[in-house]
Amino acid sequence: MLKKLLLVLSIVILVSSCSKNESNVKSIQVTLENLAEVAEKVKNDQSITKEEVDLLNTSISYYAPLKDSLKNKTVGDLISTERTRQNEIARESLSINLNRIEFTGSVAVAFDNMEKVQEAGKDMLVATYRFQNTSKSDIKLLKGFLDFFNQQGVIVKRYEIIIDKDIPAGKILTVRYPYGYDENNERDRLIVSNWKDYPRVWKPTLAEFKNGKKLAMKQN
């Protein structure tokens, strides 16, 4: 019985000692003047995991350039804050990626032509698009952008697209889409004369389906 009591007491003392050690290091307030000291104490504290070390390193690198961002923050605060920040980034990245994959699998967009025309005495640019609904439900609203880039990867022109016509499942909708044209706008003139030479990227932002489903994506 005595041996069991001594064993339990030893475990309690060991756990208490580890918790105290961890608490001492994680309770240190971090400033721009004690970073080397913090690094040394963290390095010598085996109770702090590699994950926590990485989180602390990233957190300090992220916050240090921001004025007063380290004020009143402890080692433990910075580890916890960075873990939360990285979780949010990972979740947002997952949402964006899976929405993009489903969007790509639901709608195919082709750009066929861009021509300058006159309508009601005004110069216009008319783009011809083909929208293919590759999903199993009719689309009732589609929004996005078509971006034209030069060979250096710099955007030349962005054209917004809003299609509020039904696109039946498995069908293709061809649309002639008008845009304003300004002869004094260099970018408009570049598109008219060189659009075939510019790489183009379709960037969807919203698809609404007749079954009530919505796919939404943020675009820069």
Tens digit of each residue's pLDDT (9 = 90 or more) over 64-123: 888 888 888 999 999 999 999 999 999 999 988 998 899 989 999 999 999 999 888 889
Tokens linked to 125: 């640019």
User: From edge to edge, which strands make up the β-sheet containing 172-180?
Assistant: 107-119, 122-133, 172-180
Residue 31 placed within a domain: yes
Compute the mean pLDDT over every residue in the chain, rounded to the nearest whole number.
88
Residue 71 placed within a domain: yes
- Kindly report, residue by residue over 37-50, the tens digit of the pLDDT: 999 999 999 999 99
The predicted structure's pLDDT at residue 1: 53
Is the domain of 82 the same as that of 119?
no
Tokens linked to 7: 């064993």
Tokens linked to 32: 């721009």
Cα-Cα-Cα-Cα torsion 126, 128, 131, 132, nearest 10 degrees, comes to: 170
Is the domain of 111 the same as that of 206?
yes
Rounded to whole angstroms, the Cα distance separating 201 from 173 reads 19
- pLDDT more than 90, % of the chain: 74
The predicted structure's pLDDT at residue 124: 93
The predicted structure's pLDDT at residue 13: 40
The residue type at 16: S
Is the domain of 118 the same as that of 206?
yes
Is the domain of 123 the same as that of 163?
yes
User: Is there a contact between 28 and 41 (Cβ–Cβ < 8 Å)?
Assistant: yes
Is the domain of 98 the same as that of 112?
no
